[in-house]
């Protein structure tokens, strides 16, 4: 049989009745508000404990009118970058101030409107969103309904923190160029508004070097999608000697595809990822990649959210962090005879 449980969880009123005071006192005691004598306070805590009373944060928020909860939307829980962002956000939030409501998209690819809606319906006072795939207009529209901080992607008119993707992609491409590669392909993610900076920067860098860019789009941001797309790419004639991918997950997929075809990395094929997720640094993976400092992005986003909560009319934040190329062992000069 199930463990015996009080049929109805204890409420403030129960505690008040038990102690013989009014609900107000109980409320005050639990929020550490002044105006409760030490004795009463102790009696209240004692009774609360005996009754198993837990404050109802949800009812409190409702009564308080002003929504203090911070909603955090994460696009892909399997991508450790988002765990880093979460850590960063937490660092920025006061220990015991704002509740953090988490929401994880269920489809990595595509736009999970439901996950965002759930944050709104849970009455988050502000939403930190990493990463939004929706077109700019949709994001701006959403920001009308609830204050929004866009992480990882700049949206005009909306608080944003992001990494300088133009610089990151240029560094990655130039690294490959510098090694002597000419046929460098770019494996992009699905095409979404606000997510074309890396691709555009790659293409521009190639053009500037007098080379023809070759971009292909994976149908998702996952390892599996990267593997599918790369397999197709490598089976074509005149395959590239290097691939620069939109993120590490895609790069991981590209590796698998290459190995499955019997190619060696970096001897036959160089690969550069993006994110510098922890996996990239593992022995046996050794992926050259671009560090976008996800934890710092998260921390900055948290600070911006707090500021916005305090000052709804303040100026719009637009912070851009400098990424940094991390050279490991997945890149080398192109094979001699090609």
Residue whose structure tokens are 């593992």: 282
Q: Which stretch binds DNA (CB under 7 A): 51-59, 138-146, 203-211, 264-272?
A: 51-59
* Number of residues in contact with a second copy under rule CB under 8 A: 62
Return the one option of DNA, a second copy, none that residue 27 interacts with (CB less than 5 to 8 A, by type). DNA
Q: Which is nearer to a second copy, 175 or 308 (CB)?
A: 308
- Residue 221 site contact among a second copy, DNA, none (CB < 5 to 8 Å, cut-off depends on kind): none
Q: Which stretch binds DNA (CB under 7 A): 18-26, 182-190, 215-223, 270-278?
A: 18-26
Among 97, 110, 157, 178, binds a second copy (CB under 8 A): 157
Sequence-distant (≥ 6) Cβ neighbours of residue 129 within 8 angstroms: 73, 116, 139, 148, 149, 150, 151
Which two three-digit tokens encode residue 47?
């009774």
Closest CB 83 distance from a second copy, rounded Å: 5
Cα-only R_g, the chain: 25
Smallest gap from Cβ 146 to DNA, in A, equals 14
Q: Which residues, 6+ apart, have CB-to-CB distance to 173 below 8 Å? A: 184, 201, 202, 205, 206, 244
The b/e string for 28-44 (b: 16+ C-beta within 10 A; e otherwise) is bbbeeeeebeeebbebb
Report how far residue 290's alpha carbon sits from residue 25's, in angstroms, rounded to the nearest whole number: 55
The answer to whether residue 111 forms part of the interface with a second copy (CB under 8 A) is no
Q: Least distance (Å) from DNA to the CB of residue 175?
A: 53
> Pick from 17, 23, 102, 193: which binds a second copy (CB under 8 A)?
102
Q: Given the structure tokens 């050259």, which residue do they identify?
A: 288
Backbone angles phi, psi at 311, to 5 degrees: -130, 85
Q: Out of 17, 45, 51, 60, which residue is the one contacting DNA (CB under 7 A)?
A: 60
Is 3 a binder of a second copy (CB under 8 A)? yes
Residues 6+ apart with CB under 8 A from 222: 76, 78, 108, 109, 249, 250, 253
Q: Which does 102 bind (CB under 5 to 8 A by kind): a second copy, DNA, none?
A: a second copy
For residue 36, the number of C-alpha atoms closer than 13 Å in the C-beta half-sphere is 21
User: CA 253 from chain center: how many Å?
Assistant: 20
Find the binder of a second copy among 279, 290, 303, 309 (CB under 8 A). 279
What Å distances lie between residue 281 and 71, 273, 284, 290, 322, CA to CA? 31, 11, 9, 12, 20
Backbone angles phi, psi at 171, to 5 degrees: -60, -45
17, 45, 51, 55: residue in contact with DNA (rule CB under 7 A): 55
For residue 282, the partner it binds in DNA, a second copy, none, with Cβ less than 5 to 8 A by kind, is a second copy
- Binding residues vs DNA (CB under 7 A): 8-9, 11-13, 20-25, 27-28, 30-31, 34-37, 39-40, 53-56, 59-60, 62-65
- Binding residues vs a second copy (CB under 8 A): 1-6, 9, 52, 54-59, 61-62, 77-78, 80, 83, 86-87, 90, 99-104, 106, 117-118, 120-123, 140, 143-147, 157-158, 223, 252, 255-256, 259, 278-279, 282-286, 308, 312-316
């Amino acid at each position: 049989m199930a463990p015996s449980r009080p049929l109805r969880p204890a409420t403030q009123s129960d505690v008040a009745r038990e102690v013989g005071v009014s609900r107000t006192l109980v409320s005050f005691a639990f929020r550490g508000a002044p105006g409760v004598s030490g004795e009463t306070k102790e009696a209240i805590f004692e009774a609360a404990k005996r009754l198993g009373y837990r404050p109802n944060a949800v009812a409190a928020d409702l009564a308080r009118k002003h929504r203090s909860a911070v909603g955090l939307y994460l696009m892909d829980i399997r991508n450790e970058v988002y765990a880093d962002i979460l850590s960063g956000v937490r660092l920025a939030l006061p220990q015991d101030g704002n509740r953090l409501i988490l929401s994880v998209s269920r489809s990595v690819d595509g736009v999970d409107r439901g996950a965002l809606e759930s944050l709104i319906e849970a009455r988050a006072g502000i939403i930190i969103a990493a990463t939004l795939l929706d077109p700019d207009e949709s994001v701006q529209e959403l920001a009308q309904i609830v204050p929004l901080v866009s992480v990882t992607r700049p949206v005009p008119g909306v608080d944003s923190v992001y990494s300088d993707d133009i610089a990151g992609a240029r560094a990655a491409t130039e690294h490959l160029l510098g090694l002597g590669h000419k046929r460098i392909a770019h494996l992009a993610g699905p095409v979404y508004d606000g997510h074309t900076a890396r691709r555009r920067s790659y293409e521009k860098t190639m053009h500037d070097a007098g080379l023809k860019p070759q971009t292909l789009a994976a149908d998702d941001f996952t390892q599996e999608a990267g593997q599918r797309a790369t397999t197709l790419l490598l089976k074509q004639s005149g395959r590239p000697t290097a691939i620069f991918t939109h993120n590490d997950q895609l790069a991981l997929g590209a590796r698998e595809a290459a190995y499955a075809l019997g190619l060696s990395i970096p001897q036959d094929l160089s690969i550069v990822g993006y994110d510098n997720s922890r996996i990239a640094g593992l022995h046996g993976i050794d992926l050259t990649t671009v560090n976008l400092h996800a934890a710092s992005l998260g921390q900055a986003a948290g600070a911006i959210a707090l500021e916005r909560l305090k000052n709804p009319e303040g100026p719009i934040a637009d912070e851009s962090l400098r990424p940094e190329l991390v050279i490991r062992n997945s890149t080398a000069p192109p094979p001699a005879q090609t």
